[in-house]
Structure 1
Amino acid sequence: MSGNEMSAVVSSPLVQVDDLARSFDVSAPWLNRLLERKPRQLLHAVDGVSFSIEKGKTLALVGESGCGKSTVAKLLVGLYGPSRGQFVFDGKDAHQTYAGGDNGRALRRRVQMIFQDPYASLNPRWRVADIVGEPLREHGLLQSDAAVDDRVGELLSSVGLSPADASRFPHQFSGGQRQRISIARAMATAPDFLVCDEPTSALDVSVQAQVLNLMKRLQRERGLTYLFISHNLAVVRHVSDEVGVMYLGRLVELADKTSLFASPRHPYTRMLLDAIPKMHDTGQARTPVQGEVPNPLNPPSGCAFNPRCPHANERCRSERPVLQSFAGIRIACHAVEEGRI
């Protein structure tokens, strides 16, 4: 292998998502459609999302509720299959691998997920020892019960809990402690890639900081790669290296954290950032996020953001923009392309 080829292999991203899409059939039952003469209805939850994540880095996806962030998460861990597009993990088509028996099991060990609600994602009838130990037994990573118990104790210690907590039930913990248990379970298989679906949104602010610092520490120690999904831009600024802004199933801006927070380009990104309270603006009125996300079953023609955008023109209302690079930032906006903003 030549030096150039070796360099290309080394620099290839761990996670590569190309034109990923997922649609759901939300049509009325067949007989209703026949009698009422209604067509089938498809909900395009994710519609052509593309991004990459380098090993050891964090990409954050942000946006309002209903923009498709959680659907992207479930596509990457194999809970949903794609309607279109590809997810390549470490050079291999992940969705084909997920369906491939032993190869699929091996991939699932390397890709794990932390869910939004720690109480809902933990079995209330199981003790913590069973919850955290289940991946170890399911994947056959440890054979004896004693080895599993020792490993569970190590995992609990790594997330700031006591090995003695293994004998307790989820309801005996606070919300932050339950999320630490979820993180310990996700870490049980020694994954390379963690998909974090709003892991701190159900927690108090002080507890959020503890969990975020824990995740940052684990990333430094173990070289983890994160896809971090959140609607809280203050949290995103703390944890991310790159930020992708989603709107109605599509990425509208993708940039490194510093560039995006310092000089956002897309009108939707600007709207989200303007709504954040700022310490130096105490006493000044904040700009609320205008309007609401359109009905995804009946999205606007052209740019989906055009009904809420102060810079929209006729082209915006008729032609859907595509993600393009402008000075290292990828943006889907006609106004930016034309130099109007």
Structure 2
Amino acid sequence: MSGHPLVEVRDLAKIFDVSPPWLNRVVERKPRQYVHAVDGVSFQIEPGKTLALVGESGCGKSTVARLLVGLYAPTRGQVLFDGADNAKTLASSGAQALRRRMQMIFQDPYASLNPRWKVQDIVAEPLREHGLISSPAALRERVGGLLSSVGLNPADASKFPHQFSGGQRQRISIARALATEPEFLVCDEPTSALDVSVQAQVLNIMKDLQRKQGLTYLFISHNLAVVRHVSDQVGVMYLGRLVELADKADLFARPRHPYTRMLLDAIPDIHMTGRARTPVQGEVPNPLNPPSGCSFHPRCPHANERCKSERPALLEIRGVKVACHAAEEGRL
């Protein structure tokens, strides 16, 4: 499979209808309202690699995650998994086989586990659903092995979620996601609800599992320090679009897009304690009424008239994909 991407996303878009109820629209004479949550995103993930998506809250990262695993249907574009179109596979008899090969770890470990079920039932559910193991003794043994693989005790299977801390609950979520032996894991901010020390433990477990099992990750985060630790490639999103896509080393050493530079400038650096930190300037525009041209231009120090009227395409400039007129014209 060398050189062949496991996951390929082509011009992916998702539009949500957020209009008020019909009667309100008639009385107030308002048109329908739409949010372009994801607007033409394209990327590839090689087998065994990690692509991280970063950006401020509301930029469409979690919507991309849900589109990839089939929780949302795309408005436009394609998600290809191992060369096959996800939408077609999910509508066919191959849907269950595809779901077995890709799993998702959700952001909130307090909301993603059923409080009425014991850990044994939570982790065993995918095994039962996919008909992988039916014997109770074999299920107990497999659940014990999965819990051990994420640093928990097999005896924890008899407990309920409320008996665990946030970090332990997220490990249970990871064990559940690994139950079907997937090839691809979509991780939607899996450590954002955890303390910093617990974040490190969970991330190290995920890195170890990737090395041992050859897992492929899409890792979504707004924490650039976490992204630096786990990713091979980084995609920076802004208002539903990818503005920069580069290898991790390139992106952190030589960020091309002004927004990426702004995000990196905001990271505290222990070696530069005397330097004034640059806060991320301005506010994310209202997604119901995005700016014309480049959606970042109201916050960009390099914006000119072209930026205000013409939307930049994601072009490859010196080995890095960037959607920026200033970078394209060499004005940075």
TM-score range, shorter chain: over 0.9
**For residue 250 of structure 1, what is the aligned residue in structure 2?**
241
Does residue 40 (structure 1) correspond to residue 36 (structure 2)? The answer is no
2:211 corresponds to? 220
Is 1:262 equivalent to 2:253 in the alignment? yes
Residues 177-219 of structure 1 deviation map (CA, whole Å, 9 limit, x = unaligned): 1110000000000000000000000111111110000000000
Q: What's the offset of the Cα at 1:33?
A: 1.9
- Structure 2: unaligned runs, 5 residues or longer: none
Matched, 1:80 2:58: no
- The percentage of aligned residue pairs carrying the same residue is 79
Query: Which amino acid letter does the alignment assign opposite residue 86 of structure 1?
Result: Q
Measure, in 2, the Cα distance between the counterparts of 1:11 and 1:316: 35
**Alignment partner, residue 177 of structure 1:** 168
- 3-state SS of 1:23 partner: strand
1:188-207 paired onto structure 2 within 5 Å: 188-207=179-198
- Aligned match of 1:233 in 203, 224, 236? 224
- Letter of the 2:76 partner, please give it: R
2:36 maps to amino acid? H
Deviation at 1:143, TM superposition (A): 1.7
**Match of 1:297?**
288
TM-fit CA distance, 1:28: 1.5
- The offset of 1:284, in angstroms, is 2.3
Q: How far apart are the structure 2 equivalents of 1:161 and 1:10?
A: 34
Q: Tell me the distance in 1 between the aligned counterparts of 2:275 and 2:312.
A: 34
The match for 1:325 is: 316
Residue 35 of structure 1: how far off its partner (Å): 2.9
State the SS of the aligned residue for 1:213: helix
Which string of whole-angstrom CA distances, capped at 9 and with x for unpartnered residues, describes residues 295-317 of structure 1? Answer: 00000000000000000001000
Report the equivalent of 2:265: 274
Deviations 1:104-137 (A, max 9, x none): 0110000100001111100011100000000000
Partners of 2:218 and 2:250 lie apart in 1 by 19
* Aligned-residue offset at 1:36: 2.4
More off after superposition, 117-126 vs 278-287: 278-287
Aligned to 2:119: 128
Task: Give the structure 1 partner of residue 94 of structure 2.
Answer: 103
Match of 1:71 among 60, 63, 74: 63
Map of 2:275 onto structure 1: 284
- 1:144-183 equivalences in 2 (<5 Å): 144-183=135-174
Alignment length (residue pairs):
332
Q: Specify the code of the residue in structure 2 equivalent to 1:65.
A: S
1:159, distance to aligned residue in structure 2 (A): 0.5
Which one of 18, 23, 30 corresponds to residue 15 of structure 2? 23
Q: Distance in 1 between matches of 2:251 and 2:314?
A: 15
Amino acid at match of 1:85: G
- SS of the aligned residue for 2:151 comes to coil
Name the SS of the counterpart of 1:209 in structure 2: helix
RMSD (CA atoms): 0.8
Aligned residue for 1:183, secondary structure, equals: helix
Question: TM-score, length-normalised on structure 1?
Answer: 0.96
Distance across 2 between alignment mates of 1:121 and 1:138: 17
Q: Which residue of 2 aligns with 1:6?
A: none
- Which amino acid in structure 2 is aligned with residue 94 of structure 1? N
Q: Deviations over 1:133-168 (max 9, x none)?
A: 000001101121111111000000000001100000
Who is 2:109 aligned against? 118
C-alpha distance in structure 2 between counterparts of 1:282 and 1:34, whole Å: 57
Normalising to structure 2: TM-score of the pair? Answer: 0.99
- Structure 1 portions without partners, runs of 5+: 1-8
